Amino acid sequence: MTPDAASSAIALCNAADLQEGGLAVPFDVEYGGQTCRAFAIRFEGQVYAYLNRCTHVAMEMDFQEGRFFDDSGRWLLCATHGAAYAPDTGECAGGPCQGGLVRIELSEFDGVVHWHPTYLLKPLAF
């Protein structure tokens, strides 16, 4: 990781908070001038984050906060219409989705998961 990337990183959670196939850690971002919910997960040992917005209908995907994985732990599901997404890419894997989830860049170092704002995904003004 470059020094610039590390300096713009925002601490999200302790690495131990993200268990393989377990509950997501939610957080808020600014996307397109709106406050949106996002979530971070761990899949196959890596951390990933996406905007919590189904591509079928622009609504939050989790019926119970933080529950995105199906029972097998292999797919991220939209609880409303059953759209399935690949946890490592956010790409549509089945159901009524139309394209992939909006990915948010994460890194993990020193026991902490960080997210990296971009021009499209910004931290909320405090």
Whether 81 contacts 96, CB under 8 Å: yes
Residue 59 · residue 80 · CB < 8 Å: yes
pLDDT value for 58:
82
20: left (phi over 0), alpha (psi -120 to 50) or beta: beta
Which residue range(s) make up the domain with 49?
Answer: 3-122
CATH code for the domain of 26: 2.102.10.10
The answer to whether 79 touches 62, Cβ cutoff 8 Å, is yes
pLDDT digits (tens, 9 = 90+) for 68-108: 999 999 999 999 989 999 999 999 999 999 899 999 999 99
Query: How does pLDDT run across 12-34, given as a tens digit for each residue?
Result: 999 999 999 999 999 999 998 89
Q: How far apart are CA 109 and CA 88, in angstroms?
A: 19
Residue 99: burial class (beta carbons within 10 Å; 0-12, 13-18, 19+): exposed
pTM of the model: 0.90
Structurally, the chain folds into a number of domains equal to 1
